[in-house]
Amino acid sequence: MSTTTVDPHALPGETGMVEARRGRWLPFSPWHLILMPMALLMLVPLVWMVITSLETLAQTRRFPPVLWPGQLQFQNYPDALGAAPFPRWFWNTAVVTITVVASNLLLCSLAAYAFARMHFLGKKAIYFLLLATLMVPLQVVLVPTFLIVKQLGLINHLGALIVPNLANVFGIFMLTQFFRTLPIELEEAARIDGASRLKILFTIVLPLSAPALATLAVIQFMWTWNDFLWPLVTLYNEPAYTLQLGLQSFQGSHLTEWNLLMAGNVMSMIPMLVLFIVAQRWFIRGIATQGLKG
Amino acid sequence: MGRFRRIMGSDHIAGWAFILPSVVLILLFGLFPIVWGFVLSLQKASLLNPVRPFIGLANYQAIPKDPLTRKAALNTVIYTMMFVPSSIVLALFVASALNRKIRLIRFYRLAVFIPVVASTIATGIMFLWLLDKEFGLANWALGTIGLGPFGFFADPSQALPSLVLMTVWGWLGFDTIVYLAALQGVPQELVEAAAMDGAGRWSTFRHVTLPLLSPATLLLVVWSTISALQLFDEVYFVTKGGPLDSTSVVVYRVFRLAFTSGVPAAGYAAAIAYVLFIVILLFTLAQFWLGNKVVHYQA
Amino acid sequence: MGSVTFDGVSKVYPGAKGSPSTVAVDDLSLEVGDGEFLILVGPSGCGKSTALRMVAGLEKISAGEIRVDGERINDVPPRDRDIAMVFQNYALYPHMTVAKNLAFGLRQRKTPRAEVSARVAAVSSTLGLDELLSRRPGQLSGGQRQRVAMGRALVREPRAFLMDEPLSNLDAKLRVQMRAELKKLHHRLGTTTIYVTHDQVEAMTLGERIAVMNAGLLQQIGVPQDVYDRPANVFVAGFIGSPPMNLLRGTVSGTTVSAGVFSFARPGLADGPITIGIRPETFRPTTEAGTVGPSIDLQVDVVEPLGDEVLVHGTLDARAAQSGAEAEDAVLLAETSTRAPVTVRLAPDSRPAPGDRMPLTADPMAVHLFDASSGDAIR
């Protein structure tokens, strides 16, 4: 069967027929002339950050800017690590993020499975209630949540970041939708064989849900790792800071030491970049399915 | 029959057991604060003092009379009106460009998507440096084509547009992914039929592709508007609301009032937050209502 | 106007690194006369759709020329070819009303509004779409959508129509109805039509001429009855006709052709293997009056009474041959069994029972002979 496309984006002058030849890329498409500058433009802030991180302080204070430092100042990196408790911040953020992601995977799976497959009193009402909380933006609940967390004695504690986020409504919804798409026969067969709901969830449903779980994990990871406002509001001791908060204070105390700042910034971005490159499929799928569900 | 009953009966307990941890957490940290927030908005409150006298609707009445809050509201609206159209239109063109199979397409897509994972702070640091008034790369590059130098974040009239530039860069990947997925869902046969019907490249785009993208467009408009109205991190970190309050936005004002103002303004802050909430809700409903008239969902 | 000529047309898909390229259409040459209704028929993957799409301009032509009204259109973009296409899945614009769908092509060509309305109204009444004009495709049934797809092509009054299996998504009853309507329409308009289908019944009933294709190659082109009566090769013989022609492995020895106990005289053939083809209706029970020819016993397996005829499936004491048009499992079965499965078409009053031995004869003049290696017909 043919695999041709009629390209609606063919440039005038082409005959209007462009083929997606099976397996072969076009030798040199004029689109590269648009896409390459665009891609480079998007990468400029990142690339410039890396270049600056390898310059000396004096080089950063030059105009026109030094585009290539000549001698790469890798020293900036250990200097930045020494100038602020980065390792501590990394650790804090990692602990919070991993705990939150793990907790969400567990709790959201449980709840989503119940909503997707079980019938119980009040199910619709509770589901609707949860939906309602999604509508409300963070700043509305900022102060009250702060007061609650304060009551629990978690201010200045990593627990302040973990406990309120142990179960995310978004995760529950996403998994509920996904579980509903699984063929129910598998679970029914197991039920007739006498398996408990819990067993069915862990031995049948979850293994089949690996893509959805991966997507949830990756998105939750990004949210938690990059979160700024909530840590800002609940953490006040430098050693307790998360990475984003720490970065902000680092910038505040090294305002114009751009080379040092960039080195710190690069280090802070590496975990997310690595995660993205390794798990891009799940990121992209997570975002794309948002759009397709309409 | 007895077994059937047993299975059906136990679902109530099992069901609630499964959802209980999540529901308790969400009720405690999601639903309850919503109610408490409203209560706070009717009080004169400070974060430190547990005594919070009720003052009725005084907080709400103070909002329109407060020049700083009005300015924040205005800035938020201006920012939103700049951010939403530019990020969506740009994303549409970028997604169209990325919707082809040529060599290096994976690199191009990656380059567009990567900024999404950069945190607001990391992005802020990159752009503070890039748009630095004295030593920034931007001013140098613009200078080579005879433009500038610009004050960017340091100039009251340029700070908000500079924020738009920064946030569009950060969100472009997200919008593009949504559009790219939607574009790939346009059936090839329709494009072919349009070609047979005599439609040129632009006509096909306008009459066939674009209408089929309308669900994605609606989603992005709603999502972008909501997130634009809630702008905070970038303002707090990059411009601190300035210069001269030119970038103070509503959530920033709420934060300042509740956490750093030194006066018991937490209730007032809660009131502003609630008004914002209502505005967002109305906006979203209006957009969906309008959207349903215009958007076509494929059968 | 509207004749279409294929002149040595080929379509080659280059393979991915390491794999050979695929030839979808191999040196196709045929002429579609002005106003003719030609059907391209063949199994899936035979290249018929690809050939059609090359005429439309949706596929680039790898070699050869396609001419419409004598002018070469290889490099003319689809929009300028003045050809309309009806797609298998209709490809209606889902966000436009039926009326807008019909009008789209005309509006794209800057046709004045008055004319657009007039033409749309005319086509709409011809196809019975008047009540549907303000509905969207999503609100229509399959049959209605099919008619809108046809209407969209009709309204443009092109030089030629291209139809890519337009009826295959309809249920059987609707299909029969639409076939009749299509035939009537063609009578009225007289526009050149190239129609692609994999259903040989459709081909036989609709086409003025049919072109049978297999694996990218044109097997035979001709009037349906001719193709049926005088298949050019074993493939066409096995493909056209339902139930398919029974094929037996035979041997030529001197002037005798035989397959198992079934043998008859035919001078002028070279000794060696040969393929014998006997249509289901060519077999007659020996008890029937006026039958001539050698006989062979049919071991009856299954009897299918169809009302106006009876189909009897059984086996003969002979080996079966392949046409290349069978389904895979049939091939396997035929290879391994020692008897040839055949189907016989009998008058409704014949009532054999499963397990019976039924003596049959076949008129040797009505038997088809094919070269055992090339598959070509031997006249």
- Chain C window 99-118: which residues touch B at a Cβ cutoff of 8 Å? 104-105, 108-109
Tens digit of each residue's pLDDT (9 = 90 or more) over B20-32: 999 999 989 988 9
Kindly state whether C341 is in contact with chain B, defined as any CB-CB distance less than 8 angstroms. Answer: no
From the list B190, B199, B207, which residue is nearest C91 (CB)?
A: B190
Tens digit of each residue's pLDDT (9 = 90 or more) over B172-221: 999 999 999 999 889 999 999 999 998 888 999 999 999 999 888 988 99
Q: What are phi and psi of A62, to 5 degrees?
A: -115, 145
Kindly determine whether residue A42 and residue B172, on different chains, have CB atoms separated by under 8 Å.
yes
Q: For residue A167, with 0-12 CB atoms within 10 Å meaning exposed, 13-18 middle and 19 or more buried, which class applies?
A: buried
From the list B14, B128, B130, which residue is nearest A197 (CB)?
A: B14
pLDDT class of C377 with cuts at 50, 70, 90: confident
C-alpha closest to that of C252 among C369, C143, C340: C369
Kindly determine whether residue C78 and residue B200, on different chains, have CB atoms separated by under 8 Å.
no
Tens digit of each residue's pLDDT (9 = 90 or more) over B133-142: 888 889 888 8
The ipTM assigned to this model is 0.85
Nearest CA distance, C101 vs chain B (angstrom) = 10
pLDDT class of A26 with cuts at 50, 70, 90: low
C-alpha closest to that of C92 among C137, C127, C53: C137
Nearest CA distance, B157 vs chain A (angstrom) = 23
Question: What is the β-pairing status of strands C256-259 and C310-316?
Answer: unpaired
Kindly determine whether residue C78 and residue A4, on different chains, have CB atoms separated by under 8 Å.
no
Q: In this complex, how many residue pairs, one in chain B and one in chain C, have their CB atoms less than 8 Å apart?
A: 66
Cα A64 from Cα A250, distance rounded (Å): 26
Tens digit of each residue's pLDDT (9 = 90 or more) over C209-253: 999 999 999 999 999 999 999 999 999 999 998 899 999 898 999
How long, in residues, is chain A?
A: 294
Using a CB-CB cut-off of 8 Å, the residues of chain A touching C48 are: none
Kindly state whether C89 is in contact with chain B, defined as any CB-CB distance less than 8 angstroms. Answer: yes
Window from A283-292, B156-165, B226-235, C54-63 with minimum mean pLDDT: A283-292
Angle between helices B2-26 and A123-135 (to 10 degrees): 20
Nearest CA distance, C17 vs chain A (angstrom) = 7
Kindly state whether C45 is in contact with chain A, defined as any CB-CB distance less than 8 angstroms. Answer: yes
Kindly determine whether residue A2 and residue C78, on different chains, have CB atoms separated by under 8 Å.
no
Kindly state whether A32 is in contact with chain B, defined as any CB-CB distance less than 8 angstroms. Answer: yes
The sign of the CA dihedral B273, B275, B277, B283 is: negative
Q: Do A259 and A51 form a contact (C-beta atoms < 8 A)? A: no
Kindly determine whether residue A4 and residue C58, on different chains, have CB atoms separated by under 8 Å.
yes
Kindly determine whether residue C78 and residue A17, on different chains, have CB atoms separated by under 8 Å.
yes
Burial A8-28 (b: 16+ CB within 10 A, else e): bbbeeeeebbbbbbeeeebee
What H or E segment, with its residue span, contains residue C284? strand C283-285
Residues of B in CB contact (< 8 Å) with C are 187, 189-190, 192-200, 203, 207-208, 211-212, 214, 296, 298-299
Most C CBs within 10 Å: which of A7, A11, A21, as the mutation test of the C interface?
A: A21
Nearest CA distance, A136 vs chain B (angstrom) = 7
Q: What are phi and psi of C82, to 5 degrees?
A: 55, 45
B248: left (phi over 0), alpha (psi -120 to 50) or beta: beta
Kindly determine whether residue B195 and residue C58, on different chains, have CB atoms separated by under 8 Å.
yes
Kindly determine whether residue C79 and residue B197, on different chains, have CB atoms separated by under 8 Å.
yes
Tens digit of each residue's pLDDT (9 = 90 or more) over A174-193: 899 899 988 888 888 888 88
> Rounded to whole angstroms, what are the CA distances from A88 to A234, A240, A244, C274?
17, 8, 12, 87
- Chain A window 40-69: which residues touch B at a Cβ cutoff of 8 Å? 40, 42-46, 48-49, 52, 60-65
Tens digit of each residue's pLDDT (9 = 90 or more) over C162-208: 999 999 889 989 999 999 999 999 999 999 999 999 998 899 999 89
What is the structure's pLDDT at C207? 86
Q: Do C363 and C267 form a contact (C-beta atoms < 8 A)? A: no
What is the structure's pLDDT at A5? 41
Q: Which amino acid appears at position A122 of this protein?
A: G
What is the structure's pLDDT at C245? 92
Nearest CA distance, A8 vs chain C (angstrom) = 12
Cα B269 from Cα A142, distance rounded (Å): 10
From the list C19, C53, C57, which residue is nearest A2 (CB)?
A: C53
Nearest CA distance, B47 vs chain C (angstrom) = 54
Kindly state whether C14 is in contact with chain A, defined as any CB-CB distance less than 8 angstroms. Answer: yes
Q: Which two tokens stand for residue B170?
A: 């950060």
Q: In what order do the strands lie in the sheet with C217-222?
A: C83-86, C160-164, C192-197, C37-41, C209-214, C217-222
Q: In the predicted model, is pLDDT for residue A2 greater than 60?
A: no
Q: In the predicted model, is pLDDT for residue A11 greater than 70?
A: no
pLDDT class of A139 with cuts at 50, 70, 90: confident
DSSP bridge pairs for C12:
C23
Q: In this complex, how many residue pairs, one in chain A and one in chain C, have their CB atoms less than 8 Å apart?
A: 44
What H or E segment, with its residue span, contains residue C340? strand C340-346
Nearest CA distance, A206 vs chain B (angstrom) = 14
Cα A234 from Cα B262, distance rounded (Å): 17
Kindly determine whether residue A292 and residue B134, on different chains, have CB atoms separated by under 8 Å.
no
What is the structure's pLDDT at B12? 83
Tens digit of each residue's pLDDT (9 = 90 or more) over A220-250: 999 999 999 999 999 998 888 999 999 999 9
Tens digit of each residue's pLDDT (9 = 90 or more) over C74-122: 999 998 999 999 999 999 999 999 999 999 999 988 889 999 999 999 9
Q: Which residue of A has its CA nearest to C76?
A: A15
What H or E segment, with its residue span, contains residue C192? strand C192-197
Kindly state whether C53 is in contact with chain A, defined as any CB-CB distance less than 8 angstroms. Answer: yes
Q: Which residue of A has its CA nearest to C45?
A: A1
Cα C285 from Cα A76, distance rounded (Å): 100
Q: Which two tokens stand for residue A37?
A: 């500058």
Q: Which two tokens stand for residue A102?
A: 């793990």
DSSP state of B295: -
Kindly determine whether residue B15 and residue A123, on different chains, have CB atoms separated by under 8 Å.
yes
Q: Which two tokens stand for residue C170?
A: 């309809």
What is the structure's pLDDT at A12? 31
Cα C132 from Cα C145, distance rounded (Å): 10
- Subunits with at least 3 CB pairs below 8 A relative to chain C? A, B
Q: Which residue of A has its CA nearest to C19?
A: A23
Using a CB-CB cut-off of 8 Å, the residues of chain B touching C150 are: none
Nearest CA distance, A273 vs chain C (angstrom) = 32
Q: Which two tokens stand for residue B68?
A: 């700083």
Q: Which residue of C has its CA nearest to A10?
A: C77
Q: In the predicted model, is pLDDT for residue A293 greater than 70?
A: no
DSSP state of B100: S
